Amino acid sequence: MTRSVLVALDLGQFEFAESLDELALLAKSAGAEIVGSFSSKRRSPDPATFIGSGKAAEIADFCAASEVELVIFNHALSPAQQRNLEGALKVRVIDRTGLILDIFAIRAQSFEGKLQVELAQLQYLASRLVRSRSDLTGQQGGIGMRGPGETQLETDRRLIGVKVKQLKARLEKLRKQRQTQRRQRERRGQFTVAIVGYTNAGKSTLFNAVASSKAYAADQLFATLDTTSRRVYLAEGVDMVLSDTVGFIRDLSHSLIEAFKATLESTVQADLLLHVVDASAPNRHSQIEEVNMVLQEVDAQEVQQILIWNKIDACERDVAVERDQDGKISSVSVSARYGLGLPELRQCLTELASEFYLRNKAKSVLPT
């Protein structure tokens, strides 16, 4: 356990307290022992240290007295700010993106997931090379590896560039393999459903309950990073391919989304999205907005969605299926953990799958 301090600035943004609670969960997920927390209000971040010299001195005194090893910021820091803070605090400093990347590195299981994490880490590191050469352990240049007149920093950047290019090529190859598999499913007219939602909303628990699978599920942020797919039989002659995907979170940087676009491709290609929401979360509506923003960024905003209000056992909500004015299913209330509402959900999925196969059958008999 790394003795850590959390730091957050209240810049007038919405749900500041919830964001700080989320940072604590992220830190614990990464293995941090939280020994202190600092927050303050500012109109805008300090260009040099983000928090200002006075607050930095206060945190530095606490770190020295409490043997703190790591300070975690609930914001994206510029390379210069991170470097200045480490000089002022005399301990290692990471920002929110660096923390999420660390969790991703712990949780990635599949070959593709590990490649995507490595790509994101290298791209993040490339902008911070000015801070310290020691970050490149095992990748630093040396005799026989640097060009004429090339500095160590230039060598490090070149080596990272080469590695990034190799990783992108390998991920592109995997993407093409998935496209081939997807075309095969499309030729068979397979109904595909992807589970999406904010991290820790219960996506993997729902996936296991519906698919009778044993995908890893835990009450922690980013328990799932790799897409898992299973064929699920719903009724006589009616089945679907169900996929569990990585959870989303607020302030997810564009580079992280880019790195995980291959994983999120299953959402773009799905016929239906089950958008899982923690019904007991006080900030559930803003979480819905965050997920929809990421879906828009990966061009999946046009895919049909059903809201799955999960964890109704933890709030005053009953099992229910809601439909819009056209009679289409808009939401289902369930408790994936205790099985409440799952029969109703399967019935809804059976209805939608049957409609999908009927449409496909009608298309196949139309004259060309």
Measure the CA angle with vertex 292, ends 266 and 318; round to 5°: 95
- Whole-model pTM? 0.76
Model confidence at 299: pLDDT above 60 = yes
Domains and CATH numbers, the chain: 2-94 (3.40.50.11060), 189-365 (3.40.50.300)
pLDDT for 295 equals 87
358, two tokens? 């009927």
- Per DSSP, what are the bridge partners of residue 240? 232
Model confidence at 304: pLDDT above 60 = yes
Structural contact between residues 267 and 245, judged by C-beta atoms closer than 8 angstroms: yes
Sign of the C-alpha dihedral computed for residues 140, 143, 147 and 148 taken in this order: positive
Report the C-alpha gap between 40 and 58 in whole angstroms.
Answer: 12
Instruction: Give 189-244 pLDDT, tens digit per residue.
Output: 789 999 999 888 899 899 999 988 665 555 555 555 567 788 899 988 889 999 88
Helices and strands: H and E segment counts in the chain: 11, 11
Q: Which tops the pLDDT comparison, 177 or 71? A: 71
Instruction: Give 347-368 pLDDT, tens digit per residue.
Output: 999 999 999 988 887 766 555 5
User: In which band, very low, low, confident or very high, does the pLDDT at 146 lie, cut at 50, 70 and 90?
Assistant: very low
Report the C-alpha gap between 172 and 58 in whole angstroms.
Answer: 48
335, two tokens? 């408790």
pLDDT for 136 equals 41
Report the C-alpha gap between 96 and 91 in whole angstroms.
Answer: 16
> How many C-alpha atoms does 210 have within 13 Å on its Cβ side?
34
Instruction: Give 48-65 pLDDT, tens digit per residue.
Output: 999 999 999 999 999 999
Task: Return the minimum-mean-pLDDT range out of 140-154, 216-230, 325-339, 347-361.
Answer: 140-154
User: In which band, very low, low, confident or very high, does the pLDDT at 290 lie, cut at 50, 70 and 90?
Assistant: confident
Sign of the C-alpha dihedral computed for residues 323, 329, 330 and 333 taken in this order: positive
